[in-house]
């Protein structure tokens, strides 16, 4: 669905727009939406596959404890390195997730005529422009609905947080050594704070990091798909003219 409607927009743009600057910017942002969405998915999958056992450090032979003829090896855990990787993938996820929408906003400003183009464009900027200049736009109605929903208002602070601080501290990670399986295990799933902009962090929402990221990714992917679908509808309603004329 994403490729189908997005490809139709590409083909319509290529056949109706001759301004080389607009064509360049459209192609840049159109491909960047796909890249940002791919990067979001990549960091989510890296987070999902991260295993605390990867950060076990086994002792050298000289450090091995011996009890009679039995040799006991007990690894240590590089918890700081594990924590660093958690934050690496969470930072990458949240930054690319919001960048997907903000890059899409740039593309919207190319697809729709606007009275002015602000120096900084975000997904909320695109919504406000559409509601003001294109009040009958299906994309404007969609963004107005989705950006006011709890999933987006709760997600947005995570993007801001990752530019200034880390979401996980090594003291937040609860783990133990399984003496039967001979490896470390998480004793509690990695949790995200209720609102990362409120300090100290609270965890009453019991927000599991991997589950929350999966939910956010699915919603962003759905939103991108439906923006292209509705942009195509808006273009057809306006006689397949691009950029779509302002009222």
pLDDT digits (tens, 9 = 90+) for 226-241: 999 999 999 999 999 9
Distance, in Å, from the CA atom of 102 to the CA atom of 120, rounded to the nearest integer, reads 10
In a domain, 13, yes or no: yes
pLDDT at 71: 61
In a domain, 47, yes or no: yes
In a domain, 158, yes or no: yes
Long-range contacts of 220-225 (CB under 8 A, 24+ apart): 220/37, 220/40, 220/97, 220/100, 220/101, 221/2, 221/37, 223/101, 223/142, 223/146, 224/2, 224/33, 224/37, 224/100, 224/101, 224/104, 225/1, 225/2, 225/5
Distance, in Å, from the CA atom of 75 to the CA atom of 94, rounded to the nearest integer, reads 33
In a domain, 51, yes or no: yes
pLDDT at 3: 63
pLDDT at 65: 56
**Domains in the chain, number:** 1
pLDDT averages per 10-residue partition of the chain, 247 residues: 83 96 97 98 98 91 54 85 98 98 98 94 98 98 98 96 93 93 94 96 97 98 98 97 93
pLDDT at 224: 98
What is the pTM assigned to this prediction? 0.92
In a domain, 82, yes or no: yes
Look up the domain containing 152 and give its range.
2-58+71-163+209-237
In a domain, 95, yes or no: yes
How far apart, in Å, do the first and last CA atoms of the chain sit?
Answer: 29
In a domain, 176, yes or no: no
pLDDT at 247: 81
- pLDDT tens-digit map of 53-74: 999 998 875 555 555 555 667 8
In a domain, 186, yes or no: no
């Amino acid at each position: 669905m994403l490729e189908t409607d997005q490809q139709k927009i590409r083909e319509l743009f290529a056949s109706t727009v001759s301004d080389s600057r607009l064509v360049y910017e459209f192609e840049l942002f159109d491909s960047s939406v796909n890249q940002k969405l791919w990067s979001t998915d990549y960091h989510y999958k890296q987070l999902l596959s991260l295993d605390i056992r990867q950060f076990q450090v086994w002792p050298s032979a000289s450090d091995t404890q011996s009890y009679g003829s039995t040799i006991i090896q007990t690894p240590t855990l590089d918890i700081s390195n594990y924590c660093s990787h958690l934050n690496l993938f969470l930072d990458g996820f949240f930054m690319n997730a919001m960048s997907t929408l903000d890059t899409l906003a740039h593309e919207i400003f190319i697809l729709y005529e606007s009275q002015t183009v602000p120096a900084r464009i975000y997904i909320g900027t695109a919504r406000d422009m559409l509601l003001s200049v294109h009040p009958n736009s299906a994309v404007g109605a969609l963004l107005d609905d989705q950006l006011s929903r709890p999933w987006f208002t709760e997600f947005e602070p995570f993007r801001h947080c990752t530019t200034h601080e880390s979401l996980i501290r090594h003291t937040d990670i609860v783990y133990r050594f399984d003496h039967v399986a001979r490896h470390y295990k998480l004793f509690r799933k990695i949790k995200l704070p209720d609102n990362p902009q409120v300090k100290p962090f609270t965890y009453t929402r019991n927000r599991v990091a991997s589950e929350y990221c999966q939910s956010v990714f699915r919603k962003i992917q759905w939103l991108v798909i439906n923006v292209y679908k509705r942009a195509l509808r808006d273009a057809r309603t306006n006689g397949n003219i691009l950029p779509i004329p302002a009222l």
